[in-house]
Structure 1
């Protein structure tokens, strides 16, 4: 197992925008993902196998770069939650579209995460990214874990600081908008998931009804029975076509707009976390300034040093954060727009194919008459 890596010294040897998660292998409850990266040298590709724990190792190394100036202003690409084989309803509720028994959307979400990390001007310099994408060995290192007291104290701190008035109108406006968008996108993703789940249930019901119609077919030479049997068979074919149509519609919904809304929701949460980190640093800076003002002469010098250090750190965070927000909004809008376009295109194609098929069924019924 490789030791934990925190240095920010390496440059990637792969194309950051051309990383693919091409396959998922199941071994009991363990999922292993095949990741393919194109070499910058143009001499081939890296093929590595990674588990979800390896993805967590990478994420923790990115989170632990405390020595990088302004790192707390970075909007860290959101890593999807851990998928499970034969997911329960609770897991589906937590993961949304990524919790359904379809691995293409989940692989695409992991792929997006890696591309965003590898193409990020700050995060791509972390040596852990290069190791994750190119090393034939499994990455290692203990994942940072917080105990329950830390989580409770952080929750209490968040309640105290989340409503703190900002000194910069740009960030205050962004915080206000983010609160609305975080709730709205999460709700939209949940409602759209309900639509897809309902479509899947309707498709299953149509399949059952199609099979049940075959039970109505009766043998014999009686003309009435023969006509009735032909109608049942034809109706069975119609409902089988309806099943295939609704299944295609549900799959299109999931792989296009569903995946886009899921990513949008997780990205808004990632920005919310960054904005909260910056707000916490703002509170620390204001406290440092007050302490420096109230300090006695004997402690004045060290308190001034603490204040200057806090001001420098906060300036770095704000500079990075503004760049991140501008870039984030451009990428976010482009990806959601792309999801909407793909959704419309796939649904139009499915509608045309289904209309042609249903027209054939109609002509067949007219012929029977």
Structure 2
């Protein structure tokens, strides 16, 4: 989850993980295209490519299909945000969460940028040839059918796992981590949902301020009736104040989304990614237990074949467990840094916004005080 030190990371990529940026998004009908700029590792230039969300899915599928990499099922794959929708319905807003709250694509571009940076910084995934072509090739990725990866096969294993007795994990480390993940998955999702409610409320307040400011302008009328000029001036000034309030609340909501909002959203998605990894390991554990029972019960004519299947399953399980432990340690270290950074950025931007607002209120107060009401 945290970007690796690029001096010690594998040099498989020709770009810097920290130099990857998703600069903008453009829509052509139903097609949304993202511009990706990657700084060359040599520092002498940049790659500029345009990719659709389908291209991001193509990359994710290829990364989950690296079956020639020992222990690949123990990897916590950087989670890809859900597909963006403009003018999302209430149901889609709940699915996309904080990524569906902005009027532009800035938060979504930032989420995709973070995803690519984490993939490019991962000690195993960064070596995938498909990642290099995704970031550097001017041509879009191939649209040929990708071999089914890890995620596609998870559903096939679910029923088998449910039929198994709920045995405890053979490793205390993973038993403890599964308990922690179960708790944190629920808490992180709840935190992101509550923060989403805060942002949506702020947006509603900003909209209401806009309506009120416009309504006050409608009260301005030219006339010679006693008090009419004074009343009109009051309406104009109050409209300006309310409009300033609207801009302030909009800025606060924008700060919420782009900092702590994205941090909480990423934390929630990563907890789900770890949950998927732990589930894959559980599937392999059940497969090993089944192979062990079959080997014990095998007749002499099938004993050798069953023992070989058992040894292969045991080897796979051990490799996955080794990689999974490394991934969990790396993940726990990185998630703290990411949340800390999100909190710091959130506080910094809110302080700056508060200072700007205080200056704005002072100017409004002076303007009102200097107005001749009579």
TM value normalised by structure 2: 0.90
2:168 aligns with one of 151, 165, 181: 165
- The aligned residue for residue 126 of structure 2 is 124
- The aligned residue for residue 106 of structure 1 is 108
Question: Equivalents in 1 of 2:355, 2:162: separation in Å?
Answer: 52
The answer to whether the 8 Å contact 1:77/1:267 transfers is yes
Q: CA deviation at 1:269?
A: 0.4
- The aligned residue for residue 232 of structure 1 is 235
2:190 aligns with one of 187, 191, 212: 187
Q: CA deviation at 1:345?
A: 0.9
Question: Equivalents in 2 of 1:142, 1:153: separation in Å?
Answer: 20
Q: Aligned runs of 1:195-210 on 2, under 5 Å?
A: 195-210=198-213
For structure 1, the 5+ residue unaligned runs are 1-8
- The aligned residue for residue 21 of structure 2 is 20
Within the alignment, does 1:354 sit opposite 2:357 as a pair? yes
1:334 aligns with one of 329, 332, 337: 337
Question: Equivalents in 2 of 1:226, 1:113: separation in Å?
Answer: 58
Question: Equivalents in 1 of 2:153, 2:121: separation in Å?
Answer: 32
- The aligned residue for residue 304 of structure 2 is 301
Question: Equivalents in 2 of 1:151, 1:67: separation in Å?
Answer: 18
- The aligned residue for residue 7 of structure 2 is none
Question: Equivalents in 2 of 1:364, 1:53: separation in Å?
Answer: 53
The answer to whether the 8 Å contact 1:29/1:85 transfers is no
1:287 aligns with one of 290, 311, 320: 290
Q: CA deviation at 1:84?
A: 2.4
The answer to whether the 8 Å contact 2:161/2:286 transfers is no
Question: Equivalents in 1 of 2:157, 2:289: separation in Å?
Answer: 19
Q: Could you give the per-residue CA deviations for residues 220-247 of structure 1, whole angstroms, max 9, x where no partner exists? A: 3445222222211111111111101100
Question: Equivalents in 2 of 1:71, 1:51: separation in Å?
Answer: 26
Question: Equivalents in 1 of 2:350, 2:358: separation in Å?
Answer: 12
Question: Measured at CA, do residues 150 and 133 of structure 1 come closer, stay the same or move farther in structure 2, by a change above 3 Å?
Answer: closer
The answer to whether the 8 Å contact 1:162/1:279 transfers is no
For structure 2, the 5+ residue unaligned runs are 1-9
Q: CA deviation at 1:314?
A: 0.9
Question: Equivalents in 2 of 1:113, 1:357: separation in Å?
Answer: 37
1:139 aligns with one of 138, 141, 161: 141
Question: Measured at CA, do residues 115 and 317 of structure 1 come closer, stay the same or move farther in structure 2, by a change above 3 Å?
Answer: same
Equivalenced residue count is 359
- The aligned residue for residue 3 of structure 1 is none
Q: Could you give the per-residue CA deviations for residues 330-352 of structure 1, whole angstroms, max 9, x where no partner exists? A: 11111111111111111111112
TM value normalised by structure 1: 0.91
Within the alignment, does 1:55 sit opposite 2:88 as a pair? no
RMSD: 2.2
- The aligned residue for residue 86 of structure 2 is 85
Question: Equivalents in 1 of 2:86, 2:219: separation in Å?
Answer: 38
Question: Equivalents in 2 of 1:71, 1:82: separation in Å?
Answer: 25
Question: Measured at CA, do residues 158 and 215 of structure 1 come closer, stay the same or move farther in structure 2, by a change above 3 Å?
Answer: farther
Question: Equivalents in 1 of 2:245, 2:148: separation in Å?
Answer: 49
The answer to whether the 8 Å contact 2:65/2:148 transfers is no
Question: Measured at CA, do residues 143 and 83 of structure 1 come closer, stay the same or move farther in structure 2, by a change above 3 Å?
Answer: farther
Q: Could you give the per-residue CA deviations for residues 58-115 of structure 1, whole angstroms, max 9, x where no partner exists? A: 1111111112100000000101111123333322221112223331111111111111
The answer to whether the 8 Å contact 1:61/1:128 transfers is yes
Q: Aligned runs of 1:214-293 on 2, under 5 Å?
A: 214-293=217-296
